[in-house]
Structure 1
Amino acid sequence: MRWFWPSGLTGRVALVLILALITVQLLSLPFYLRQQTSEATELYQHSTLQRINHIVKLFEQLNATQRRDLLPALNSPSLSMDAYYQLTQAESKATDEPSLAATLSTQLDRNVIVKHAKQDGSMLLDMFPSQQRIAIWVPLKDNSWLRFSTSSSLPSSGWIMHISAQIIMLCIAVIILAIVAARQLTRPIRTFAAAAERLGTDVNAEPIEEKGSTELRKATRAFNTMQQRLQSYVEDRTKMLAAISHDLRTSLTRLRLRTEFIEDEQQQRKAEHDLEDMEAMLASTLTFARDDAGQEKLVNLDLAKLIHTLCDDMEDLEKDVIYQGPEALTCLGRPTALKRAISNVIINAVNYGKKAKVTLSQDEENINIQVEDDGPGIPAEQIEKVFEPFVRLDQARNRSTGGTGLGLSITRSVIRSHGGDVTLKNHHKSGLVVTLALPKVS
């Protein structure tokens, strides 16, 4: 039965509501049919009895010739009649419908005989008992008889079609109502899911509008409060690091001035080199903590053109970089942040290997940017560690290439802010393969 059970919450709620409402309808259907049948039968019998009563009173005042002339005009599909002067032995036997005979006898003030009329098609009669024809024998004052032929209730075929149409229309209305109700009930969950996904890629996203039921407004308020606290945390962290950076830059400036008074030129160059490293680390740290990717707006950009430009720039610097992929590929992203993230990976590839191969492709879910180098690679147990800030693997990377160990940390932060991720693996021959996966936005 797993195929019958929808995977989405909207489908499940709709199915439960539909089954519940239809079950209630089916349980109440016998009572409804019984009531409708009783009311319809009572109405039909009442009108038929009134008509018979009027015809009998009219025929009491007519002679035989007038009766024969009037019979064709009074016959109808629901009530036909004939005039007899004597009854056969079979027709004069006891009545088949005592209750109906008693009612007619009381209304007409005479003894009435009611018998089942002979008809063909017994299967149809078994299926629709109300199609059973009955004969009503009414005596007149001149000892003649009128025979009326009618059904015991309403004609079943039309009545059943009418009831069936009502039930079908009711079921359609129930299904539509259940689907609409299910969508309304699950809309808050879809809203929260979209807001949570948006928060994962943009901490400065607009808060959710507080509306709906009391519980929904309370949950929305809690979500907005959480988002506001995250924004405040990021902002406070950035301000703190900016203040620290300012104070450290002041100290570094003083140290740089003091290095001019070092008489040993070799020691002076070493000190200046250390100060330059410290200043570069400080700038990288501030950039990483500021997380500009979260401040930049999402726009439609040509990712293929951006990567092609980065590869051309590296070729202008006489670096061996090859691009493979489409000439145009549009995605939703933050241009400056993506440029920094992809550039970090390409620079690492050309710094730690002789060449880099950049491949852009897409599958059903992601847009993939793959950067391969022919360097020494990274030990498998150290692959996850290189994403930590300031981590450099001396055995795998040459210290003389420079850098602060923040490149891959920044790259992962940027790609994850777009809803994607970064993975590393060693090539089966040599070198490292870095894959940046960005989700496709339909």
Structure 2
Amino acid sequence: MGRLKHLFPDALAGRIVLLLATAILVANLIALAVLGLQQQRFDRQAIEDREIERISALVPAMEAVSAEVRQAIVRDASTRFARVRVEDRPLLTATATDSRSIYIARGLAETLGRADVNVAILERPPRSDSEARTGRFSADSVIAITIPLSARDGRAEWLNVVTSGASPRPDRVDGRPFLTILVLSLLCVLGVGIVLARRLTHPLRQLSHAARAAGRGDRTARVKEEGAREMRDAARAFNAMQAEISHFDAERMRMLAAVGHDLRTPMTSLRIRAEMVEDEEQRAAMVRTLDEMTVMADGLVSYGRNGQDAEAMEPLDLGDLLEQLCADRGATYRGPDGIRIVGRRVGLGRAIGNLIDNALRYGGTATVTLSQDRQEAVVLVEDTGPGIPPDRLDDMFHPFTRGDDSRSLETGGAGLGLSIARTIVHAHGGRITLENRADGGLRATVALPLAQADAAGA
């Protein structure tokens, strides 16, 4: 069962083609069986009609001659498939009730113009040695016919005929023409089926790609509303869902940005008031707290703005972007040229720039490496800092989470840099992970899908 399941096509197009091929094969096999049965039926009827004609011609001739001539005619009329005898007792006294016997008897009666014809279909008698040598009566059943003849020399005589009709055809139909037709029909159906299946499943593939992109956070992913009615309905529902989610995300991000922006005014007022406090120690503590709150408010504004995806997607040379980011920040860059992606330059600059800034802030150095792996561009940002406890690596992408639990302005930030980076990378259909290096430090890995032409070349 497992092997059969493994051989069964996984793709919908393959299943449609397999279904069509199976239907054609089964239909042709049924047609072959019906053709064989019909051929046997036609052969049998042809044999019966031929015997009716032969015996109808034989009886008048025998009625017109003497007994001696009758015997000569009988010898000449007997063949390897028919035994003809003129005997003094009838082989049959009544016609059998089966349809074949009645058909032959009625045909002979109509042709001869007499009703005293008896016919029966008998099982083939056991072969004698001579029959086995000559091959007579090789059929499974024989036709027995009895017709009374006019008396000669005062004796009543009957014409008794036992015949298999003719040499039977082979039990099966010649399969070569049938197989040729079957192969040609299968090829035609498979060709048409493959084209139709691809056209039918193309909207499904588009919907699948768009759904994966949406799952990675790309709210711009849409599906063309084309194809069959059900596919158009599914695409329309998906696009409506994406629009609703995009609207919700935009409202959420605008709310965060608005909260961060609105906090600046009271914090500025509080800072002015704090500067007027005479106690220098209290004044310093209040200003430090307000500075940390300002950093958090600025982070909220940045997080909200970067999550709105207002920038358009465009082809980018990722190597040029990384080289510029590293040059601006004093980081080390290694990587080839010509690795192209489709993305937002400012957004990706912000995301990878946050990773480089974190590496410089917490590790002192930052090394950025670009490579290509199958259909992805892979960016590594490594530092030589203390790293992060393994149980906290996943938590670092949550908003307001930092490597150190303090809010010291010396390390800066409000714990939103990695959250912003993950939001932007996911919106590009990529993924981002963190891991501790074996020789010390932290490694951030960003994988982004290549542009279509580069992915195809890979």
Same fold (TM over 0.5): yes
Aligned residue in 2 for 1:339: 349
Aligned residue in 1 for 2:14: 11
Paired residues for 1:207-218 under 5 Å = 208-209=224-225, 212-213=228-229, 215-218=230-233
Paired residues for 1:9-408 under 5 Å = 9-35=12-38, 93-94=78-79, 96=81, 161-200=176-215, 201-206=217-222, 208-209=224-225, 212-213=228-229, 215-264=230-279, 267-268=282-283, 270-292=285-307, 294-315=309-330, 321-394=331-404, 400-408=410-418
Question: Aligned with 1:166: secondary structure?
Answer: helix
Residues 96 and 202 (structure 1 numbering): CA distance in 2 closer, same or farther, change over 3 Å? same
Give the aligned residue type for 1:253: T
Give the aligned residue type for 2:356: I
Matched length: 360
Q: CA deviation at 1:349?
A: 1.0
> Is contact 2:354–2:421 with CA below 8 Å preserved after alignment?
yes
For residues 396 and 427 of structure 1, what CA distance do their matches in structure 2 show? 24
> Is contact 1:374–1:430 with CA below 8 Å preserved after alignment?
yes
Deviations 1:344-379 (A, max 9, x none): 111111111232221111222432111111111111
For residues 359 and 246 of structure 1, what CA distance do their matches in structure 2 show? 36
Paired residues for 1:415-434 under 5 Å = 415-434=425-444
> Is contact 1:202–1:294 with CA below 8 Å preserved after alignment?
no
Q: CA deviation at 1:280?
A: 2.7
For residues 210 and 167 of structure 1, what CA distance do their matches in structure 2 show? 35
Residues 293 and 324 (structure 1 numbering): CA distance in 2 closer, same or farther, change over 3 Å? farther
> Is contact 1:22–1:174 with CA below 8 Å preserved after alignment?
no
Question: Aligned with 1:300: secondary structure?
Answer: strand
Paired residues for 1:405-416 under 5 Å = 405-416=415-426
Residues 183 and 334 (structure 1 numbering): CA distance in 2 closer, same or farther, change over 3 Å? same
- Residue ranges of structure 1 left out of the alignment (5+ in a row): 47-86, 108-128, 130-150, 316-320
Question: Aligned with 1:405: secondary structure?
Answer: coil
Question: Aligned with 2:400: secondary structure?
Answer: coil
Residues 357 and 41 (structure 1 numbering): CA distance in 2 closer, same or farther, change over 3 Å? farther
Residues 347 and 401 (structure 1 numbering): CA distance in 2 closer, same or farther, change over 3 Å? same
> Is contact 2:203–2:227 with CA below 8 Å preserved after alignment?
no
For residues 197 and 430 of structure 2, what CA distance do their matches in structure 1 show? 32
Aligned residue in 1 for 2:121: none
Q: CA deviation at 1:153?
A: 10
> Is contact 1:18–1:175 with CA below 8 Å preserved after alignment?
yes
> Is contact 1:352–1:375 with CA below 8 Å preserved after alignment?
yes
Give the aligned residue type for 1:172: L
Question: Aligned with 1:6: secondary structure?
Answer: coil
> Is contact 2:260–2:301 with CA below 8 Å preserved after alignment?
yes
> Is contact 1:293–1:337 with CA below 8 Å preserved after alignment?
no
Q: CA deviation at 1:42?
A: 8.6
> Is contact 1:204–1:295 with CA below 8 Å preserved after alignment?
no
Give the aligned residue type for 2:304: A
Residues 185 and 35 (structure 1 numbering): CA distance in 2 closer, same or farther, change over 3 Å? farther
For residues 406 and 276 of structure 2, what CA distance do their matches in structure 1 show? 38
Aligned residue in 1 for 2:136: none
Question: Aligned with 2:328: secondary structure?
Answer: helix
For residues 290 and 372 of structure 1, what CA distance do their matches in structure 2 show? 27
For residues 179 and 396 of structure 2, what CA distance do their matches in structure 1 show? 71
For residues 441 and 398 of structure 2, what CA distance do their matches in structure 1 show? 21
For residues 190 and 276 of structure 1, what CA distance do their matches in structure 2 show? 51
For residues 422 and 284 of structure 1, what CA distance do their matches in structure 2 show? 20
> Is contact 2:422–2:431 with CA below 8 Å preserved after alignment?
yes
> Is contact 1:420–1:437 with CA below 8 Å preserved after alignment?
yes
Question: Aligned with 2:366: secondary structure?
Answer: strand
> Is contact 1:14–1:181 with CA below 8 Å preserved after alignment?
no
> Is contact 1:293–1:414 with CA below 8 Å preserved after alignment?
no
Question: Aligned with 2:299: secondary structure?
Answer: helix
Deviations 1:139-196 (A, max 9, x none): xxxxxxxxxxxx98999xx986544433332222332344345435534432321221
Residues 439 and 207 (structure 1 numbering): CA distance in 2 closer, same or farther, change over 3 Å? closer
For residues 424 and 387 of structure 2, what CA distance do their matches in structure 1 show? 23
> Is contact 1:195–1:208 with CA below 8 Å preserved after alignment?
no
For residues 274 and 308 of structure 1, what CA distance do their matches in structure 2 show? 37
Residues 439 and 193 (structure 1 numbering): CA distance in 2 closer, same or farther, change over 3 Å? same
Q: CA deviation at 1:268?
A: 4.4
For residues 439 and 43 of structure 2, what CA distance do their matches in structure 1 show? 88
Give the aligned residue type for 2:188: A
Are 2:450 and 1:440 aligned?
yes
Question: Aligned with 1:404: secondary structure?
Answer: coil
For residues 313 and 424 of structure 1, what CA distance do their matches in structure 2 show? 23
For residues 345 and 97 of structure 1, what CA distance do their matches in structure 2 show? 102
Deviations 1:192-211 (A, max 9, x none): 21221233342133454276
